[in-house]
Amino acid sequence: MRKIYLDHSATSPVRPEVAQVMWQFLTEKFGNPSSLHSFGREAKENLENARNQVANAINSQANEIIFTSGGTEADNMAILGVAGRYADKGRHIITSAIEHHAVLHTCQNLEKQGFKVTYLPVDEYGIISMDDLQKALTPETILITIMHANNEVGSIQPIAQVGALARERAIIFHTDAVQSLGKLPIDVQKMNIDLLSASGHKIYGPKGVGFLYARKGVRLSSLVYGGAQERKHRAGTENMPGIMGLGKAVELVMGEMATEMPREAKLRDDLIKGLQERITHVKLNGHPTQRLAGNVNLSYEYVEGESILLALDMAGIAASSGSACTSGSIDPSHVLLAMGLSHEVAHGSVRMTLGRDNTEEDIQYVLEVLPPIVERFRKMSPLGQ
């Protein structure tokens, strides 16, 4: 059976070039970067090369990159790290209602410890308002954490404007760039970003590795205690195969961003238009243009998104409803609800996220397969007839 992967925002396949680099660091180049002998020195040199590859992608200094176990840890490190070090300056944090749970649950946990958190609302397209942000600022605000691009609907936030405002007020600005690295240009200097989280497995790198960029001068309390690795920010022997794979993946994804993103955006638009032409009562979730190149999130009214997913899976097409982390839960997506969708319409949402392996033929196949699926379910539903 033909198999089409349309869930690149959940995870992406590791590139052969990346796997090759990782294999070397699992086998002959197994040294510990903390060792003083030649094996250790070689590992240390490679570790610093990977750090440079990552720093180049976001215009930071290499010594501002801290390798982590992924996006979740980087988000935790940023938020808990700032809360731990700056609580004496204030105990107020501003975020948005549509952040990934790695940010939301961390903030909710801080609320239990006496911090105040403002969850900014979003408009119908999933975008925050700068006006709301301005109004939410208080003399107690120590951190603004707003994601660059949303994992479910692909909406892109005005992070350069957020960064400018935060810098003007001397408030630390963190952005979760897990979904945007390699897809949107990022310049931490120009965008006034103090902290930025990213992950390897969304950019054709390995799972379980990511990084936090922390601007020089921003102090963070540690999550993990032990050795002096990562400038004492993250103790523990470095995940060399993962880090080397991440470095390579970042370099490759940056090198093709200028050609690959317009290609994916064309496929995305063909898919959205094609489905809207073939199926009635379809709603595009997210902004029509201010969205990630590969993101297609549509609600099919009178049908359950989960039913569509299962039928697509049987036809060899892998998609998702809401974010991968919330699938399996019966609650509708917090992102779609924050955008004002009713529970019914939110339940009818299906996300397809494109990647570098997808082609025009894949889109045509989805356009053949999906409309009859929706039609069949609607015939069975009392509301859809």
Query: Residues in the site for ligand PLP, rule: CB under 6 A?
Result: 70-72, 75, 100, 102, 147, 151, 176, 178-179, 199, 210, 325
List the end-to-end C-alpha distance of the chain, in Å, as a whole number.
32
User: Least distance (Å) from ligand PLP to the CB of residue 138?
Assistant: 26
User: Least distance (Å) from ligand PLP to the CB of residue 183?
Assistant: 12
Alpha helices in 122-200 (DSSP H): 130-136, 159-168
Note the Cα 344 to chain centre separation in Å. 26
Instruction: Name the phi and psi angles at 211, rounded to 5.
Output: -150, 160
Q: Which residues does the annotation mark as catalytic?
A: 325
Q: Which is nearer to ligand PLP, 46 or 151 (CB)?
A: 151
* Full DSSP string of 128-146: --HHHHHHH--TTEEEEE-
User: Least distance (Å) from ligand PLP to the CB of residue 284?
Assistant: 20
The CB-nearest residue to ligand PLP is 71
Query: Residue 267 and residue 131: Cα distance in Å, rounded?
Result: 34
Q: Which is nearer to ligand PLP, 104 or 275 (CB)?
A: 104
Q: Which is nearer to ligand PLP, 43 or 338 (CB)?
A: 338
User: Least distance (Å) from ligand PLP to the CB of residue 293?
Assistant: 15
Q: Which is nearer to ligand PLP, 76 or 299 (CB)?
A: 76
Q: Which is nearer to ligand PLP, 71 or 332 (CB)?
A: 71
Query: Residue 37 and residue 20: Cα distance in Å, rounded?
Result: 25
CA distances from 370 to 193, 266, 272, 352, 361 (A): 41, 19, 12, 12, 14
The beta strand positions in the chain, using DSSP E, are 4-5, 65-68, 92-96, 116-120, 141-145, 172-176, 195-199, 210-214, 282-284, 295-300, 317-318, 349-353
